[in-house]
Structure 1
Amino acid sequence: MPTATSEPPPAQDPGAASGPRGKGGAESLVEHAAALLGLSASDIDERRSLRELGLDSLMATQLRQRLRRSHGIDISAGRLLSAESVSGLRESLDGHGAGPEVLPPEESRHLA
């Protein structure tokens, strides 16, 4: 009789799907960025850019992946590292809104 072996689940990015599913991409941006920076969301000064807050290129790539997985938001790591304030990024993410670099996944695949 075969016995089932209990294997550990595959390793995942610990913050990839963290955060409540009901939250929008703009709120998740702050929560995921704060987690990567080792801060609480309330410590994020939204007048500053993510780069000013300490985000580096590796963290920007991780943040980009987390936003894509949790909300289907495709935003470039370059934009996350730009001089744009956190507040400005949040505004453009509300409703997958306003910027050419924030595209629903099906549109971004056609551009690749």
Structure 2
Amino acid sequence: MRSGPSARRFIVLRDVFNGSLGEFLGGLALAALLALLAWGRRRRAIPPDGPGAGAARQARRYTLIGTRAPGGHPVQIISTRPVGTVVKHRGPAGPEDFELTNAVLFDGTYAAEPLDRYR
């Protein structure tokens, strides 16, 4: 065992190290937990793309391509459904299926492409 002033310094440093190690490790664990929670929250906040993605969707206005209302203007619908969804429009010529797309038209609406015409 050591004796003298250097031994007292060693004992004091050992006591300080042993006393603060628990606090240091606790703080490190808390910082890691907070970083993990922040990462998880940010990851959930970014909406994924594609069908079935995200619960809170914004409403989009779609223009049904090649379809006219009785007044002659293009038929538009508003939907919160994801891209790729097939919707049915019942017009004067009968029901017709349209697929919602991400394509933006010149007027700022999204395109809904007719499916029955291409089959």
TM-score, normalisation: structure 2: 0.22
Instruction: Identify the structure with the greater strand proportion.
Output: 2
Instruction: Identify the structure with the greater helix proportion.
Output: 1
Bigger Cα Rg? 2
